[in-house]
Amino acid sequence: MRLLVAEDDAALRARLASALADAGFAVDAVADGTEAEFLGQTEDFDAAVLDLGLPGMDGLSVLSRWREAGRGFPVLVLTARARWHDKLAGFNSGADDYLTKPFQLEELILRLRALIRRSAGHAHPRLACGPLELDANAGRFSLRGDPLALTAQEFRILAYFMHHPGKVISRGQLGEHVYEGGFDPDSNALDVLIGRLRRKLGPGLLHTVRGQGFVLGDPP
């Protein structure tokens, strides 16, 4: 899952990027509202963490422009503004959740996982596809009841598949959602990762649909 983090405080931005990467996300972190607005318009993100007090363009303007352009990814507003009318302005601009500084990183990660899960149509935090299960809150996979050991990139890929079971995912779409900073379509890195996942999952779960991409579970 790929996140956009827009936060002008350098120390907090670094903490967020590090904690979210450790939690299994690919993170694009920026300090400027103008850059955040551009990336949100041109890149595929699964969610965004958006500070309101950004230089260049304030967070509410960034959010409004995303929504006016039809960009529907979940947005968690992160700000020191605790007054109700500030929160109301954020929700009216299209925010999906609101977290006031100071905050616990663990809570932010849980909220982001819930936003992403619900945006993909999953009400329950435990996602299953045959013998494979993802505890979305804990960020852990199990296969036939046993813990499944994955690298960070393997986790990102498999988590994206688990949020979209039975759907054909193209190489480009998959690459855009698991690599920070975009994806090189000429790279074979994705094919190597898919091959490693197949070996770990065993036969019958992860399939190639010729000329279209990959699918977890039975193709539609």
Residue percentage of the chain with pLDDT more than 90: 65
Q: How far is CA 203 from CA 136, 144, 206, 207, in A?
A: 24, 13, 7, 9
Confidence of residue 182 (pLDDT cuts 50, 70, 90): low
- Using the predicted structure, report yes or no on whether residue 199 has a pLDDT greater than 90: yes
Overall average pLDDT of the 196-215 stretch: 91
In this structure, CATH architecture of domain 126-216: Orthogonal Bundle (1.10)
Which pLDDT tens digit goes with each residue over 31-69?
Answer: 999 999 999 999 989 999 999 989 999 999 999 999 999
Question: How far from 188 is each of 2, 193, 210, CA to CA, in Å?
Answer: 20, 9, 16
pLDDT at position 61, please?
Answer: 94
Mean pLDDT score across all residues of the chain: 90
Helix or strand holding residue 114 (H, E)? helix 105-119
User: pLDDT tens across 47-57, in order?
Assistant: 999 999 899 99
Residue recorded with tokens 């507003």: 77
Question: pLDDT value at position 76?
Answer: 96
Of the pLDDT bands very low, low, confident and very high (cuts 50, 70, 90), residue 179 is confident
Look at strands 213-216 and 140-143 and give their pairing: unpaired
Place 141 in a pLDDT band, splitting at 50, 70 and 90: very high
Domain 2-119 in this protein, CATH class:
alpha beta
CB-CB contact of 5 with 29 (8 Å): yes
Please state the rounded mean pLDDT for residues 9-31: 95
Burial call 129-145: b when 16+ CB within 10 Å, e when fewer? beebbbebeebebebee
Per-residue model confidence (pLDDT) at position 49: 97
pLDDT for residue 97: 92
> Is residue 18's pLDDT more than 80?
yes
Specify whether the CB–CB gap between 178 and 153 falls below 8 A: yes
**Cα dist. 79→19, 71, 119 in Å?**
18, 21, 22
Residues of the chain with pLDDT > 70, as a percent, come to 95
206-209 and 213-216 strand pairing: antiparallel
Give the closest residue to 194 by CA, choosing from 165, 153, 163, 149.
153
Q: Is the pLDDT of residue 185 over 60?
A: no
Global confidence as pTM:
0.84
Q: Above 90 in pLDDT, residue 133?
A: yes
**pLDDT of amino acid 39:** 96
Q: Do domains 2-119 and 126-216 have the same CATH topology?
A: no
pLDDT at 186 over 70: no
Band of residue 83 on the pLDDT scale cut at 50, 70, 90: confident
- Domain locations in the chain? 2-119, 126-216
